[in-house]
Structure 1
Amino acid sequence: MRKLLLVCVVLGLPGVSAAFEAQENISLDACDGLSIGPELDCVQSAIASCEELGNASDATTPELSACSGAALAHSDKRLNATYKTLLSAARKNSDSENSEMARSETVLRSAQRHWIEYRDAMCDVRVIWGAINSGRSGAVFNCQTLLTIQQIHVLEREVGSYVR
């Protein structure tokens, strides 16, 4: 990612400064910790507000996509933190004499890998069926953000209760 940004800066490609502006113009911390419905609404509202600021400054489609990209980066960071917590607990289980508990790290890793494949495929289908051409990356980021937030809640509800 840093190499891509460096190449874009050196070549003067559009949208690079917008990515930084999007990071500065989207506030998602207030959305964290809400129940699933309100959190999804909060994130959608934050993306829309960021895009409105972009529209007011005549941002291009890739620049507007940076708002959804920033939301995805934020939710992905939260998902990774949740996953690492659960993975750490699963590693402790690997020392268990109970064979099912010992498999928990392997099963968790497999489930998460399959979920990532599912998320990416579902978002591709959504974009294809929506016949979205202009702003495709923003639509994919938006879809991935929403599914990532849902996965955070699923992991916390289904597995997280066992590690608290």
Structure 2
Amino acid sequence: MKMQLTIAALLLASATTSNALEAYELLDLTHCSPFTQEFEACTELELEACMSVSNYGLEQRGCQNQFYQEADDKLNDYYQSAIQAARNAKYELRNTAWQDQEQLLRASQRAWIEMRDATCQLSGEFGAVNSGADADIAECEGRLSIRRIRDLQTEIGGFLD
């Protein structure tokens, strides 16, 4: 894992910033597995590496937006596997008090999305003196999405196996 992070950091560090698209195009969370202890650290290193080669606000906003998109994709993948596990459990647990896990998971996710959006909007409002408030909101949403994966793993992950 450390070798992959080092290689990613070196690739990003060697990038030129003559084109605003280059830095965030190199940001890649695919090698950051949500099933490892280093998941959050890996995603943070990817974002930091992207930001470090971005000399201009536009480039950094690109990193923040790409980070959110990739974190959201990872969360959606994990969430879909949790939904599928809940559906499978529904048949195994029919006629018991635990048969409505899918509904509970969906309600939990909807409530979490509202909390994430409000928290990140607040973060953006506090940072509104900067010209990149939308990108700051995207970065916040990305960080909270990564944490949501970890929270779901902690709370229900053992039931998904």
Does TM, normalized by the shorter one, top 0.5?
yes
Q: TM-score, structure 2 length as denominator?
A: 0.75
User: What is aligned with 1:21?
Assistant: 22
Choose between structure 1 and 2: higher helix proportion: 1
What amino acid is the match of 2:104?
V
User: What is aligned with 1:46?
Assistant: 46
Identity %: 30
Deviation at 1:151? 0.3
State yes or no: 1:161 paired with 2:154: no
8 Å Cα contact 2:83/2:105 also seen in 1: yes
State yes or no: 1:126 paired with 2:123: yes
Deviation at 1:41? 4.0
Is there any run of 5+ residues in structure 1 with no aligned partner, and where? 1-16
Is there any run of 5+ residues in structure 2 with no aligned partner, and where? 1-18
Deviations 1:126-163 (A, max 9, x none): 12123443111221111111111110001111111112
Deviations 1:11-49 (A, max 9, x none): xxxxxx74x5344221334443443xx544443332232
State yes or no: 1:146 paired with 2:147: no
Deviation at 1:65? 0.9
Q: In 2, Cα distance between the equivalents of 1:130 and 1:32?
A: 31
User: What is aligned with 2:12?
Assistant: none
Aligned residues: 141
8 Å Cα contact 1:22/1:70 also seen in 2: no
Q: In 2, Cα distance between the equivalents of 1:88 and 1:24?
A: 32
8 Å Cα contact 2:24/2:66 also seen in 1: yes
Q: In 1, Cα distance between the equivalents of 2:127 and 2:80?
A: 34
State yes or no: 1:89 paired with 2:85: yes
State yes or no: 1:80 paired with 2:76: yes
Deviation at 1:106? 0.6
- After superposing on structure 2, the runs of 4+ consecutive aligned residues of structure 1 that deviate more than 4 Å are none
State yes or no: 1:69 paired with 2:65: yes
8 Å Cα contact 1:82/1:156 also seen in 2: no
8 Å Cα contact 1:26/1:67 also seen in 2: yes
